[in-house]
Structure 1
Amino acid sequence: MFAGDIATVDVRQDVHDAYNATVDETHSGLVWTYPGVDGYVRNSKGRIVVNNPFRILDMWRMTETADLADYHVTHADERVPA
């Protein structure tokens, strides 16, 4: 961010939604989504919210490099003074 003179980044809603759909789809094949499994891993709506469904290597690959096209980017010279 420093080298690119970027002040803020905010993930785009469509990217956020696509990631969460992938998380939910990946969770659907894992043991903690079995109906008999309950407890702290589920929120009040039954969605798994604690466990990451991805292997560490896969998560690292997904996050190794940021694609700035996935974000609303504000450069330092575009900020509105407070």
Structure 2
Amino acid sequence: MEIYGYCIMPSHVHLIFRSENGDPSGLIRDFKGFTSRKMLKVIEENPQESRKEWMLWMFERAGKKNSNVKFRQFWQQNNKPIEI
């Protein structure tokens, strides 16, 4: 993955990237899996995060609504990639 630009919004992320192997869907899947595991770990292990219990509960609640999710859902299932 070669990232040319990004914008982190309060509820989502925009990326301008290039997939070296020509498979952007696989790349997005792997990116979402990696970042969700890391972010959930940071939230769980941060003693100063005052909203920790609430956020983890929200991710668990979202995961229960989706049969494809084992425990917590961090990212939305759908993407809207646009080739530029």
Normalised by the size of structure 1, how large is the TM-score? 0.31
Bigger CA radius of gyration: 1
**Greater length-normalized contact order (CA 8 Å, ≥ 6 residues apart):** 1
Name the TM-score, length of structure 2 as normaliser.
Answer: 0.31
